[in-house]
Amino acid sequence: MSITGERYLVSFDALDQQVNFEGVLRTQNRVDLNTLKDYLIGIYDKLDGSMRLNFRKLRYISAAALKTIVDFLLYAKQSERLAVKLIGSKVITWEVKTLPVLPEVWRGVEFVLYDDHFYESQGIIEDAAFIPLLRNQTRLLWPQEKQVLLRHGLRSGLRVADICCGCGDVALLIAKEINPAIVVGVDHSLPAIEYARRLQDEFKVKNADFRLGDATALMLEDEIFDYVLCRLSIQIFSKPELIIKELLRILKPGGRVYLLGEDYDLIVGYPNEKEIRRVYDRAGQYGTDIGMDLYNGKKLYSILAGLKLTNICLDYINVDTVNSDRRLFAEMIASWRHFSAETIGRQLRISQEAHDQLLAGYDAHLQTIRHPFGYSKWTLVSASGEKGK
Amino acid sequence: MSAVKVIGEFEGAAVGAAPYVRLVVPASDFALDWRRYNLVANYIAEYSAYRFEPKDAAENLISSVFYELIEYMAGCSRREAKLDVRLYASDRLLRFDLASSFAREEAAQLEAFLREMLRQDLDELYRGLLTAELDSAAGRRELGLTMVAHDYHAGISAAIDEDSGGVTLRALVRREEINA
C-alpha cells in the first residue's frame, strides 16, 4: 500500500507500523496533499499502540506539505488513540530544523533522531546479522503468505504457535491481521525475543506471547495449539525431524502444521541467467556442506505425507521483480551475498577464488534485479497438513 | 523620486559585493509549471554548496530556504515581472536576496505580514499558522516565510518601492545554522 507523486513515494511498512517518506515532497498540487492526508488517516485508524512516520529518506519538504503532516497530527490529536513517533535523520538539515517543532503542536508526538536513540534494540539485533535479513524477507513474503495461510486454514480465534519465530514479525502480523485467540512465538535467540516483546508492547498487541526456547525441546504442553507454523527454519537444522516431532507434539489432533521452505533450484533470472544459476548451485552446495538444506522446498510434501498427515495443501509463493519492490528484493539478495560469502564462506574456508566467484555471481543477480527490464523470481514452497484425530 | 519602505533589518549585513550565484527568470514560468520552484531552489543550492562545509548540510539548508522564498516571491509577482534570485555569503552570514515587481495589494500584504512577524512572538505565530485552516495560497506562502524565520533563525526583511512596485525580499541566515 503506497502512494506516489511527483518525486515522492509514501509507503506503509506493516512490520514496524511505520509510514516511510522518500524523495522530495514539494508538491503544490492540493489534490496530492489531500490524498496524502487521507492516506495517513486511513492507516492511523487501523492501528493500535503507536504509529511511526519515518522521514529519513525524505530529502526535502515544502511548508505546504509540512502543513499537511500537521493537519494529520491534528486529526491524531483529536482522537488521541495512538502515540505518533516522528523519525528524522541527523544528516538531513531540514529534518533537524523543522521536525522538532511538531511536538509543540501536540504532546502525543515524539520526535527522535534515528542516529541517536531510535530502536535502542537495533544495536542488539543488528549484531545478529541474520535478523535484518529475515525482516526484509518478511516484507517481501507477507502480502502473499497471508493469503496462503488463510487458504491453509489459519483463521480468527485459533490458538497458534510460531516456532523459530525470529524477531516475531510474522507472529505479530498474524496477531494483528488474522486475530487468533493467541500466537505463541518461540525462538532460541534472546535478542530476537526481546525485540519481539518490545514491538508487541509498542503496538499494544494483546494476543501474542513470546518465549525463549529450543525448538527441539519446547517447554510447551502437548496438544494445545490448533495451528503450528515453522517458517524458513527446518532448512537450517541438520536434524529437522527433531523439530517436526515437537511441532506435532504441541499440535492438537485435527490441528494443522504449516511449513515454509526454500528451494535454490527455483531461483531464476534474466538477463544473467547462467551466472544466477551457477551462484545458487554453488551457494546451495556450501549450505549443504555446513549441514543446511537450501533445497528443502521440494521435500516438504514428502515430509508431511511421511508423517501421515492428511488434507495436505501445497502452494508456491513467488516473489518476483514484477509483484514486489525491486529495491527490497535487491536488499535481501545483498544480505544473502554477505551471509553466503562472508559467514558461510569463512566457516568453510573457501579459497579466495571461490569467494570472488560467489560475490561476482550475486552481483550478476543484483544487476538483473536492479535493471528496470530485468526479471528475477524467488520461489518458496508452503505446505501444511492435518494431524489425525 | 521613489519612496522605498524598509521593513525589518534590511541593511547592515556585510557580505561580498558579488553574489555566489545569481539567476534571473520570468516569474510567470513558475505559474506555468510549479515544479520549477524545486528545480531552481535545488539548482542554486547544488551550484553553490561546494563553498560551504559540510557541503550536504549547506545544500539542504540553501535549497530549503530558497524554495519558500521563491514560492512567496513568484506567487506574488506581476505576470510580466522578472524574478532576480541571488545568494551572497560572508564568513558569518548567508544572504538570500530575491527581487521582483508586485502589484500594490501584494506589496501591502507583504509589508503587513512582515510587520506582524516583527511584532508577534515568532513561536506563537508559527504555531498559529501550522494549526490554522490555511485555505488560501497566500496563507500557505506566509507559513513558508515563517518556517524559514523560525526553523533557520533567519532575519527576514524587505525593501518595497511603493511607486514602481519593486520588492526585494531578504533573508539572513547565520552560517553556523549549517552545522546546528
Domain harbouring B156, CATH code: 3.30.565.10
Residue B151 cell numbers, joined = 526553523
Predicted confidence (pLDDT) per residue in A302-337, tens digit: 999 999 999 999 999 999 999 999 999 999 999 999
> Averaging pLDDT over each range in A205-214, A360-369, B49-58, which range is the top one?
A360-369
Cβ(A227)–Cβ(A184) under 8 Å?
no
Together in a domain, A138 and A58: no
Q: Which residues are within 8 A (CB) of B70 and not within 5 positions of it... i.e. 6 or more apart?
A: B30, B37, B40, B41, B83, B85, B98
In a domain, B107, yes or no: yes
> Which whole number is the average pLDDT over A283-301?
92
- Contact assignment for B152 to A97 by CB distance below 8 Å: yes
pLDDT surpassing 90 at residue B103: yes
* Residue that terminates a domain, selected from A85, A113, A141: A113
Chain B residues with beta carbon closer than 8 angstroms to that of A96: 180
The pLDDT value given to residue A115: 59
- Contact assignment for B35 to A6 by CB distance below 8 Å: yes
HSE-CB of A182 using CA atoms within 13 angstroms: 9
pLDDT surpassing 70 at residue B1: no
In a domain, B46, yes or no: yes
A74-105: b or e for each residue (b if 16 or more CB lie within 10 Å)? Answer: eebbeeeebebbbbbbeebbbbbbbbebbeeb
* Residue that terminates a domain, selected from A93, A113, A133: A113
Give the range of the structural domain holding residue B30, as residue numbers without chain letter.
4-10+22-178
**β-strands A50-61, A18-25 pairing:** parallel
CA distance B125 to chain A (A): 12
Determine the 3-state secondary structure of A249 from DSSP: helix
Give the pLDDT band of residue A372 (cuts 50, 70, 90). Answer: very high
Indicate the residue type of A76.
A
pLDDT surpassing 60 at residue B140: yes
Q: Where are the alpha helices (DSSP H) in A128-239?
A: 130-151, 169-177, 190-202
Q: Which of A26, A94, A101 sits opposite B38 (nearest CB)?
A: A26
Give the range of the structural domain holding residue A99, as residue numbers without chain letter.
2-113
Chain A residues with beta carbon closer than 8 angstroms to that of B35: 6
Instruction: Write down the mean pLDDT value for chain B.
Output: 93
Predicted confidence (pLDDT) per residue in A105-122, tens digit: 888 899 988 754 444 433
ipTM of the complex: 0.95
pLDDT surpassing 70 at residue A129: no
Together in a domain, A94 and A216: no
Instruction: Write down the mean pLDDT value for chain A.
Output: 91
> Which whole number is the average pLDDT over B132-154?
94
Chain B residues with beta carbon closer than 8 angstroms to that of A98: 147, 151
The pLDDT value given to residue A120: 41
**Into how many domains does chain B fold?**
1
Together in a domain, A202 and A96: no
Q: Which of B67, B134, B143 sits opposite A26 (nearest CB)?
A: B67
In a domain, B16, yes or no: no
Chain B residues with beta carbon closer than 8 angstroms to that of A24: 38
pLDDT surpassing 80 at residue A232: yes
Together in a domain, A167 and A296: yes
Cβ(A187)–Cβ(A194) under 8 Å?
no
Together in a domain, A197 and A100: no
Together in a domain, A261 and A315: yes
In a domain, B164, yes or no: yes
Interface of B with A (CB under 8 A): 34-35, 37-38, 42, 56-57, 60-61, 63-64, 67-68, 71, 123, 126-127, 130-131, 134, 140, 143-144, 146-147, 150-152, 177-178, 180
- Contact assignment for A26 to B150 by CB distance below 8 Å: no
Predicted confidence (pLDDT) per residue in B2-22, tens digit: 688 999 888 766 677 789 999
In a domain, B174, yes or no: yes
Give the pLDDT band of residue A241 (cuts 50, 70, 90). Answer: confident
Give the pLDDT band of residue A238 (cuts 50, 70, 90). Answer: confident
The pLDDT value given to residue A119: 43
Q: Cα–Cα distance between A60 and A104 in angstroms, integer? A: 21
The pLDDT value given to residue A219: 87
Give the pLDDT band of residue A127 (cuts 50, 70, 90). Answer: very low
- Contact assignment for A92 to B60 by CB distance below 8 Å: yes
Q: Kindly state the percentage of chain A with pLDDT values over 70.
A: 96
In a domain, B17, yes or no: no
The CATH number given to whatever domain includes residue A287 is 3.40.50.150
Q: Cα–Cα distance between B52 and B176 in angstroms, integer? A: 11
* Residue that terminates a domain, selected from A77, A92, A113: A113
The CATH number given to whatever domain includes residue A106 is 3.30.750.24
Together in a domain, A330 and A267: yes
Give the pLDDT band of residue A126 (cuts 50, 70, 90). Answer: very low
> Which whole number is the average pLDDT over A1-14?
85
Cβ(B143)–Cβ(A64) under 8 Å?
yes
Together in a domain, A195 and A56: no
Together in a domain, A276 and A376: yes
Pick the residue of B36, B131, B176, B179 with the most A CBs within 10 A to test the interface with A by mutation: B131
Predicted confidence (pLDDT) per residue in A131-165, tens digit: 778 888 999 999 999 999 999 999 999 999 999 99
**Into how many domains does chain A fold?**
2
Together in a domain, A7 and A155: no
In a domain, B36, yes or no: yes
Does this model's pTM top 0.95?
no
The pLDDT value given to residue A105: 87
> Which whole number is the average pLDDT over A246-255?
96
